[in-house]
A and B are shown apart, each in its own frame.
Chain A
Amino acid sequence: MSHQLRGKAACVGMATTGMGEAPGRSAMDLMAGAVLDALEDAGIPLAEVDGVFAANAVHSMASMSLSEHLGIVPVISDNSNVGGSSFMQHALLAATALEAGLINVAVIAYGSNQRSAGGFQGVSEPLPYEAQFKPRNPITSYALVTSHYLDRFGVTREQLAEVPVAARAWANLNPEAFMYDKGPLTVEEVLAARMISDPLGKLDCCLVTDGGAAIVMTRADRAKDTRHTPVHLLGAGVAHYHRMISTMPDLAVTAATTSGERAYAMAGLRAADMDSVQLYDAFSINTLLFLEDLGFCAKGEAADFIKGGHIAPGGGLPVNTNGGGLSCVHPGMYGLFVMIEAISQIRATLDGAPAPRDAGGWVPETKLALAHGNGGVLSAQATTIWGAPDTV
């Protein structure tokens, strides 16, 4: 018997705002604007919204600030924050509240003007037992894991560099990507970039951009008369093993192993069923770890798996098809953009391209897409699986 939440909620509207640089606009401008655009995309009036889910680095009670700004009196108001994967967790909680009949229309929202406001804005407090040694988190933690991974599996920086190279190739097809017109990237350029925290150089690290995003979710029955074909949430799972990197149980195994198992179990699907895969690539190592932990290849084999452009346009598995956090957009917390790309690829199959892309930017016949979020220092993992109506 399938899980009671499988396919019961669907995304019926989505929007991004101020992708890249949005000078003169606040985080709230971007977040609230994205909500209104997403509702317009759905064809649902603001007055029907009764579930508000939001998190960012600016508003400590983001759903309250957002509701006030838009004049919503929500039945469910949720700011749960597990870093960049918060929004996948919001999708699971929204689906639960929708199916329980507590709410009818949920919005999930994010906004950040960090680039225009002067740079990366973290949400983390200094971590006890680590802060004294002056790690520059998040990068120090990711660099430590990368050093361990490369040593343990005999992987080189050259092999790792295939990740940002593939991400850039996708970005080169996406006019909304920050690096769209910056040309292709080579392995040599990745290796020659300024070292930030060994073995991670500048081009192993995500962009620092502005951006807002929102999606609208409702029950499948309500979704039938919206403007676009609904894209259903088939499965979702969240998990975290640690908060501080020194407490990560196995430095080469993330909690995506568990979040993925949970999402696949709810959806009744497995990795091989996915037509496109969106993975939260805050750093190049993420893509290798998540391909393994989510079952696309065995542990330690991701470098072999991706070689020869296997995850690049025209390869065997389309991964991070918007250009990823490495080359499309990364406004501090990137998770909602990951989900929007997964949903967009399915909508492109159902309703035609939601936005212009160069040839190959929309993956033909995408009906099942995985969107995986990552939060903290490879800590909070959240996996969502989205599908076209005929996959429910």
Chain B
Amino acid sequence: MTDVAEATGPEAQYRAYLAEGRFMIQKSRSSGQYVFYPRVAEPGTGARDLEWVAPSGLGRVCATTVTRQRPEKGGDYNIAMVDLDEGPRVLSRVTGMAPDEVTIGLRVEAYVDELDGAPAVLFRKVEGAQ
């Protein structure tokens, strides 16, 4: 994996951060808007003043599904989309609970862990949150 200093394009930079265990998103200096997924410019304005920032990692589940799969193939797994507090939406998985117990509106936090051998941004329930 290329390290952050050597990575040139935004996708390579994102993956280099991820390899360091860090979930980073972009923010436009001029508009203040947060951007995910990583791009060369802010969508709509074309502003090329995106800089990397660490999001709070907090968000709320806005959609969730259970991908049904036979146990011998690994069993059911969750796929959810999370609206980050900063605005952008992320597709990922909510872990640490049964895949069908993930509900819309659930408060979650991001963490970086390996998924099938590659670093990934995953989410888990924020205990005690509303």
**A positions within 8 Å CB-CB of B:** 128-130, 132-136, 140, 143-145, 147-148, 151, 194-200, 244-247, 251
List of 5 A-B pairs having minimum Cβ-Cβ separation, nearest first = A144-B63, A143-B65, A246-B91, A148-B63, A151-B104
Given contacts A132-B118, A133-B79, A144-B79, contact A246 B66 (CB under 8 A): no
How far is the CB of A388 from the nearest CB of chain B, in Å?
Answer: 41
**Cβ of A199: which chain B residues have Cβ within 8 Å of it?**
65
Report how far A144 CA is from B92 CA in the complex, Å. Answer: 12
Interface core residue of B64, B90, B115 (most chain A CB under 10 Å): B64
How far is the CB of A378 from the nearest CB of chain B, in Å?
Answer: 12
Report how far A196 CA is from B79 CA in the complex, Å. Answer: 13
How far is the CB of A156 from the nearest CB of chain B, in Å?
Answer: 14
Q: Could you pull out 20 A-B pairs where Cβ atoms are within 8 angstroms?
A: A128-B11, A129-B91, A132-B115, A132-B118, A134-B67, A134-B79, A135-B79, A144-B79, A144-B80, A144-B81, A148-B104, A151-B104, A197-B66, A198-B66, A198-B68, A198-B100, A200-B65, A244-B91, A245-B91, A246-B37
Kindly identify, within residues 59 to 109 of chain B, every residue whose CB is under 8 Å from any CB belonging to chain A: 62-68, 77, 79-81, 89-93, 100, 104-105
Per-position 1/0 for B100-130, Cβ under 8 A of A: 1000110000000001101010000000000
**Cβ of A194: which chain B residues have Cβ within 8 Å of it?**
68
Interface core residue of A130, A199, A246, A247 (most chain B CB under 10 Å): A246
Interface size on B, residues (CB 8 A): 25
Known: A128-B11, A151-B104, A245-B91. 17 other contacts (CB 8 A): A128-B37, A132-B115, A133-B92, A133-B115, A140-B67, A144-B65, A144-B79, A145-B63, A147-B64, A194-B68, A197-B65, A197-B68, A198-B65, A200-B65, A245-B81, A246-B90, A247-B37
How far is the CB of B120 from the nearest CB of chain A, in Å?
Answer: 6
Determine if B120 and A132 form an interchain contact, defined as CB atoms under 8 angstroms apart: yes
Report how far A337 CA is from B68 CA in the complex, Å. Answer: 30
How far is the CB of B16 from the nearest CB of chain A, in Å?
Answer: 15
**Cβ of A196: which chain B residues have Cβ within 8 Å of it?**
68
Report how far A247 CA is from B93 CA in the complex, Å. Answer: 16
**Cβ of B118: which chain A residues have Cβ within 8 Å of it?**
132
**Cβ of B62: which chain A residues have Cβ within 8 Å of it?**
148, 251
How far is the CB of A144 from the nearest CB of chain B, in Å?
Answer: 4
**Cβ of B64: which chain A residues have Cβ within 8 Å of it?**
144, 147, 198
Report how far A134 CA is from B78 CA in the complex, Å. Answer: 10
CB contact between B67 and one of A129, A130, A197 (< 8 Å): that residue: A197
**Cβ of B100: which chain A residues have Cβ within 8 Å of it?**
198
Smallest Cβ-Cβ distance to A151: which chain B residue: B104
Determine if B91 and A130 form an interchain contact, defined as CB atoms under 8 angstroms apart: yes
Report how far A136 CA is from B66 CA in the complex, Å. Answer: 11
How far is the CB of B80 from the nearest CB of chain A, in Å?
Answer: 8
How far is the CB of B30 from the nearest CB of chain A, in Å?
Answer: 21
**Cβ of B68: which chain A residues have Cβ within 8 Å of it?**
194-198
Given contacts A128-B37, A143-B65, A251-B62, contact A246 B115 (CB under 8 A): no
How far is the CB of A196 from the nearest CB of chain B, in Å?
Answer: 6
How far is the CB of B44 from the nearest CB of chain A, in Å?
Answer: 11
Smallest Cβ-Cβ distance to B92: which chain A residue: A133
Report how far A194 CA is from B76 CA in the complex, Å. Answer: 13
Report how far A133 CA is from B93 CA in the complex, Å. Answer: 7
**Cβ of A200: which chain B residues have Cβ within 8 Å of it?**
65
Interface core residue of B37, B100, B116 (most chain A CB under 10 Å): B37
Interface core residue of A128, A132, A136, A247 (most chain B CB under 10 Å): A132
Determine if A129 and B65 form an interchain contact, defined as CB atoms under 8 angstroms apart: no
**Cβ of B116: which chain A residues have Cβ within 8 Å of it?**
132
**Cβ of A244: which chain B residues have Cβ within 8 Å of it?**
37, 91
**Cβ of B92: which chain A residues have Cβ within 8 Å of it?**
133
**Cβ of B66: which chain A residues have Cβ within 8 Å of it?**
195, 197-198
Smallest Cβ-Cβ distance to A127: which chain B residue: B91
How far is the CB of A160 from the nearest CB of chain B, in Å?
Answer: 14
Determine if A136 and B67 form an interchain contact, defined as CB atoms under 8 angstroms apart: yes
How far is the CB of B12 from the nearest CB of chain A, in Å?
Answer: 12
Smallest Cβ-Cβ distance to B120: which chain A residue: A132
Smallest Cβ-Cβ distance to B66: which chain A residue: A198
Interface core residue of A132, A133, A134, A196 (most chain B CB under 10 Å): A133
